[in-house]
A = this chain, B = another copy of it.
Amino acid sequence: MAHKNFKSIEKTVFGRGSFAQLAEIVAPIRERNQQYFVYVVDHYFKGKALENQLQAQPEDVIYFIDVDPNEPTTEQIDQLRDEILATKGLPSGLIGIGGGSIMDIAKALALMLTNEGSSVQYQGLNLIKKPGVYHLGVPTISGTGAECSMTAVLTGPEKKLGLKCDWTIFDQVILDSELTASVPTDKWFYTGMDTFIHCIESRDGMLNNAYSFAYGEQSLKLCREVYLGENAGRSAENDDKLMVASLMGGLSLTYSEVGICHALSYGLSKIFGEKHCYANCLTFQHLGDYYPEGVKEFKTMLAKHNITLPTGLSANWTDAEITAMAHVAYNLPHMWNHAIGIDWKEKITLDTIKDLFRRL
A residues at B contact (CB < 8 Å): 1-15, 17-18, 20-21, 24-25, 166, 172, 175, 177, 209-211, 214-215, 217-218, 221-222, 237, 240-241, 243-245, 248, 255
Contacts and interface: CB of A to CB of B under 8 A. Distances in A.
A177 B241 CA distance: 30
Given A241-B214, A243-B210, A13 B3 contact: yes
A22 to B, nearest CB: 11
The 10 A-B pairs with the shortest beta carbon distances in the complex, nearest first, are A8-B8, A210-B240, A3-B15, A218-B218, A3-B18, A14-B211, A214-B244, A5-B13, A3-B13, A7-B11
A214 B209 contact: no
A7 to B, nearest CB: 5
15 contacts: A1-B13, A2-B15, A2-B18, A2-B20, A4-B13, A5-B13, A5-B172, A7-B10, A8-B8, A8-B9, A14-B255, A210-B240, A210-B241, A211-B240, A217-B221
B17 A3 contact: yes
A115 B248 CA distance: 36
A11 B5 contact: yes
Nearest to A215: B218
Contacts of A8: 8-12
Determine how many copies of this chain the complex contains. 2
Nearest to A177: B210
A68 to B, nearest CB: 29
A172 B237 CA distance: 34
B11 A24 contact: no
A6 B21 CA distance: 13
Given A3-B18, A5-B12, A14-B209, 13 more contacts: A1-B13, A2-B15, A2-B20, A2-B21, A5-B13, A5-B21, A5-B25, A8-B9, A14-B210, A209-B240, A214-B222, A214-B245, A217-B218
